[in-house]
């Protein structure tokens, strides 16, 4: 019996030693850059392009030369280029915050693309992956970046993931990755671009400024896909009427699409121009008056809102003329047992609570997520040959300690960080310091997550010098937040971004 106990103790000690050695080996492996290199070719606009794909990690160090993070990325570079000064490179990422770059990667930026039945339901696997004729690889190399906590990206050494989960920490780490990638791959003299989506646009404004101020890297251009630079436009804070004003045109576009308007105009663009004028004029004036608004004026405004939103007069009266986005998504299709999408309001989903006031379930996200995740994970390990023992996180939300620090010094007013975060001042500083930097803003008319009128408001209130105001180009698509999943919009997206890059890189 005693021998058995001794044997058990010895076995436990050996097992613990084995586990410790294994854990140490994993820890050490995380500090070593990883590279999975494959060769491919693709036809884009009937031109054959041979390219190299590198999926791997890049190690970041802090100012004390200590290892702090292993950043995952996938780089696509065209073969046969001998002069990097003539070959642009575009750094791209999604938003969240807390999202990997998988969406842009498999939706529009990478050389391979998942096919979805936008805006019809997709259902379960199998899903189709095809060569992406909409990729910009014919005009620019592409580097997809996964922030810490997503993809293969992790904090290492004494650092923790949460150290990178905040506005300023995120801007700094992504900027450092770009600088290190540029240095390691001899791209200092290449034309450089940032392309972010959603919170990725908020990030890009800060990164463009940080790169310039701290590393001497001036980017040629920034592409903002479904942009939000001022979080105030989305937040629906108590007593703040701005979000209601800038959301109204997207409410109107959505009602128009779903045939909820009593007298539906034939021309969407002219209709939205009319709604914009009302939103920033009579509607804004009425909301700003608050309870001082007369009954007669209030009735006039509500009648207009009925005609623009498709909502009932009774509902708008009870809402005090102010309907937040989840309420609108739930109410617009009331009685049909459906709700309208948030990321893309063309989508309709089953109303899980027909008596509910808010639609927090997003039918677009629920529908396409399985297709994107399944297609990407299959592509990552089979075509890019990334080892299956590597854990790729499609988002950081699975981490129990994931929490975002929204403080941003440039947003501060007289009450410090009590202000709503805003990186428009960062972009203004970057544009002022680099007057040749161009900005391309891509908007989905059916995007209730980052409404186009909110973006217009932000750029109209940046106080830019007239000399650089013309550096901004706005484009609009009859699609949603991820406009590129609609083939017709993907065609326009490719054309707009390619022309932007070729035009600003000379």
Say yes or no: 2 and 101 in one domain.
no
Say yes or no: 340 and 199 in one domain.
no
Yes or no: say if 173 and 164 are a contact pair by the CB < 8 Å rule: yes
- Residues of the domain holding 320: 237-361
Say yes or no: 314 and 266 in one domain.
yes
Tokens at residue 287, please? 């909301």
Say yes or no: 209 and 352 in one domain.
no
In a domain, 53, yes or no: yes
In a domain, 428, yes or no: no
Q: Which residues contact 141 (CB under 8 A, 6 or more apart)?
A: 75, 76, 77, 78, 87, 88, 89, 90, 190
Q: In this predicted structure, what is the pLDDT of residue 3?
A: 39
Tokens at residue 440, please? 């391309």
Question: Cα(206)–Cα(93) distance, rounded to whole angstroms?
Answer: 14
Say yes or no: 122 and 187 in one domain.
yes
Question: Cα(207)–Cα(505) distance, rounded to whole angstroms?
Answer: 19
Say yes or no: 250 and 357 in one domain.
yes
* CA-wise closest residue to 350 among 368, 336, 365: 336
In a domain, 200, yes or no: yes
Say yes or no: 397 and 334 in one domain.
no
* pLDDT tens for each residue of the chain, 506 residues long: 433 444 444 334 444 544 444 334 445 557 889 999 999 999 999 999 999 999 999 999 999 999 999 999 999 999 999 999 999 999 999 999 999 999 999 999 999 999 999 888 898 999 999 999 999 999 999 999 999 999 999 999 999 999 999 999 999 999 999 999 999 999 999 999 999 999 999 999 999 999 999 999 999 999 999 999 999 999 999 999 999 999 999 999 999 999 999 999 999 999 999 999 999 999 999 999 999 999 999 999 999 999 999 999 999 999 999 999 999 999 999 999 999 999 999 999 999 898 999 998 899 999 999 999 999 999 999 999 999 999 999 999 989 999 999 999 888 888 878 889 999 999 999 999 999 999 999 999 999 999 999 999 999 999 999 999 999 999 999 999 999 999 999 999 999 999 999 999 88
Say yes or no: 248 and 151 in one domain.
no
- In 62-140 the beta strands, taken as DSSP E runs, fall at 67-78, 89-93, 112-114, 129-131
Question: Cα(230)–Cα(410) distance, rounded to whole angstroms?
Answer: 12
**How, if at all, do strands 154-155 and 67-78 pair?**
antiparallel
Say yes or no: 382 and 481 in one domain.
yes
3-state secondary structure 136-186: CCCCCEEEEEECCCCECCEECCCCCHHHHCEHHHHHHHHHHHHHHHHHHCC
Structural domain ending residue among the three candidates 328, 361, 394: 361
Say yes or no: 377 and 310 in one domain.
no
**Which 3 state secondary structure label does DSSP give 421?**
coil
Yes or no: say if 231 and 420 are a contact pair by the CB < 8 Å rule: yes
Question: Cα(107)–Cα(96) distance, rounded to whole angstroms?
Answer: 16
State the Cα torsion 473-478-483-489 to the nearest 10°.
-80
Question: Cα(427)–Cα(376) distance, rounded to whole angstroms?
Answer: 32
Say yes or no: 400 and 356 in one domain.
no
Yes or no: say if 501 and 440 are a contact pair by the CB < 8 Å rule: no
pTM of the model: 0.93
Q: Which helix (H) or strand (E) holds 492?
A: helix 487-504
Q: In this predicted structure, what is the pLDDT of residue 27?
A: 54
For the chain, the helix, strand and coil percentages under 3-state DSSP, each to the nearest 5: 45, 20, 35
Domain count, the chain: 3
Structural domain ending residue among the three candidates 310, 342, 361: 361
Q: What is the CATH number of the domain that holds 409?
A: 3.40.50.1820
In a domain, 431, yes or no: no
In a domain, 478, yes or no: yes
In a domain, 298, yes or no: yes
Taking the mean position of all CA atoms in its chain, how far away is CA 492? 19
Q: Which residues contact 479 (CB under 8 A, 6 or more apart)?
A: 118, 344, 346, 444, 445, 446, 485, 486, 489
Question: Cα(163)–Cα(169) distance, rounded to whole angstroms?
Answer: 7
Question: Cα(70)–Cα(392) distance, rounded to whole angstroms?
Answer: 13
Say yes or no: 340 and 417 in one domain.
no
Structural domain ending residue among the three candidates 331, 361, 391: 361
**Interior/surface letters 207-232, b for 16+ CB within 10 angstroms, e for the rest:** bbbbbbeeeebebbbbbbbbbbbbbb
């Amino acid at each position: 019996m005693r021998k058995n106990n001794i044997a058990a103790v010895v076995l436990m000690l050996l097992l613990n030693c084995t586990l410790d050695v294994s854990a140490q080996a994993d820890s050490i492996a995380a500090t070593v850059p990883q590279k999975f290199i494959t060769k491919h070719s693709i036809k884009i606009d009937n031109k054959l392009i041979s390219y190299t794909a590198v999926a791997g990690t890049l190690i970041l160090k802090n100012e004390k030369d200590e290892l702090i993070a292993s950043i995952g990325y996938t780089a696509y570079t065209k073969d046969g280029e001998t002069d990097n000064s003539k070959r642009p490179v575009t750094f791209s990422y999604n938003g969240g915050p807390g999202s990997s770059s998988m969406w842009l990667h498999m939706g529009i930026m990478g050389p391979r693309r998942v096919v979805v039945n936008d805006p019809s339901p997709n259902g379960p696997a199998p899903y189709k992956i095809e060569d992406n004729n909409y990729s910009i690889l014919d005009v620019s190399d592409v580097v997809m970046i996964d922030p810490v906590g997503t993809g293969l990206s992790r904090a290492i050494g004494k650092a923790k993931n949460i150290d990178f989960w905040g506005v300023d920490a995120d801007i700094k780490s992504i900027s450092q990755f770009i600088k290190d990638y540029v240095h390691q791959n001899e791209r200092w003299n290449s034309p450089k671009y940032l392309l972010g989506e959603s919170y990725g646009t908020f990030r890009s404004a800060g990164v463009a400024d940080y790169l310039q101020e701290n590393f001497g890297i001036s980017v040629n251009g920034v592409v903002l896909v479904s942009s939000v630079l001022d979080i105030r436009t989305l937040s629906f804070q108590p007593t703040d009427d701005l979000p209601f004003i800038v959301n109204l045109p997207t409410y109107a576009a959505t009602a128009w699409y779903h045939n909820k308007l009593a007298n539906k105009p034939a021309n969407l663009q002219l209709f939205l121009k009319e709604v914009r004028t009302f939103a920033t004029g009579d509607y804004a004036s009425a909301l700003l008056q608050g309870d001082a608004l007369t009954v007669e004026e209030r009735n006039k405004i509500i009648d207009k809102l009925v005609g623009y939103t498709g909502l009932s007069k009774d509902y708008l009266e009870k809402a005090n003329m102010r309907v937040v986005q989840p309420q609108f998504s739930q109410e617009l299709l009331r009685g049909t047992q459906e709700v309208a999408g948030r990321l893309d309001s063309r989508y309709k989903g089953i109303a899980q609570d027909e008596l509910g006031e808010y639609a927090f379930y997003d039918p677009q996200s629920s529908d396409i997520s399985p297709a994107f995740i399944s297609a990407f994970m299959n592509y990552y390990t089979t075509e890019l040959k990334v080892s299956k023992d590597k854990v790729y996180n499609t988002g950081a939300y699975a981490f129990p300690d994931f929490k975002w620090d929204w403080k941003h010094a440039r947003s501060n007013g007289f009450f410090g960080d009590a202000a709503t975060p805003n990186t428009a001042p960062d972009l203004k500083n970057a544009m002022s310091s680099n007057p040749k930097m161009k900005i391309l803003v891509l908007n989905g008319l059916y995007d209730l997550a980052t409404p186009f009128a909110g973006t217009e408001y932000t750029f109209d209130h940046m106080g830019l010098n007239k000399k650089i105001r013309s550096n901004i180009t706005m484009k609009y698509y009859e699609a949603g937040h991820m406009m590129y999943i609609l083939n017709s919009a993907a065609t326009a997206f490719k054309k707009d971004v390619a022309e932007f890059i070729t035009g600003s890189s000379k």
